[in-house]
Homo-oligomer: A and B are copies of this chain.
Amino acid sequence: MTTERYARGWDKLMEIDGEGGARVVDSLQDIAPDLGKYVVEFGFGDIYCREGLDSKQRQLITLSSLTTQGGCEPQLKVHINAALNVGLSPKEIIEALLHCIPYTGFPRVLNATFVAKEVFYGRKILQ
């Protein structure tokens, strides 16, 4: 049964993350389908659908959180793509990562930057 929160969240997930997000949810079907359901319902249906911040602002916050906690390279890949999808420029994305240096140090920012490099080459922003 698809709840209203799920439907709303799925639309938002497709708008923000696109295929990358759908692939994560799909890959959970055989192991933990409810995890995918919560990502959609709570993460996107509840949180991402809130008012008060636009999609670009939300991606800046997301990139900072994922960069700072470390070990989230797969999620950074999805959300650097998402940041581009919602209209942040490659330059703004790199700026967001550099802004984290004083707070979280160079190693985490280097790790995130190399994920961005991979995404940018994959999308032919760099070639």
A contact set with B: CB distance below 8 Å: 24, 27-28, 30-32, 34-35, 38-39, 42-43, 46-47, 50, 52-53, 57-58, 60-72, 74-75, 91-92, 94-111, 113-114, 116-117, 120, 126
A101 to B34, CA, bound (A): 12
Report 29 cross-chain contacts, Cβ distance below 8 Å, ordered by A residue: A27-B114, A31-B94, A31-B113, A31-B114, A31-B120, A34-B50, A34-B98, A35-B101, A35-B110, A38-B42, A43-B102, A47-B98, A47-B101, A52-B94, A52-B95, A53-B60, A53-B96, A53-B99, A60-B60, A60-B64, A61-B61, A61-B99, A62-B103, A65-B67, A65-B100, A70-B70, A74-B107, A74-B110, A101-B105
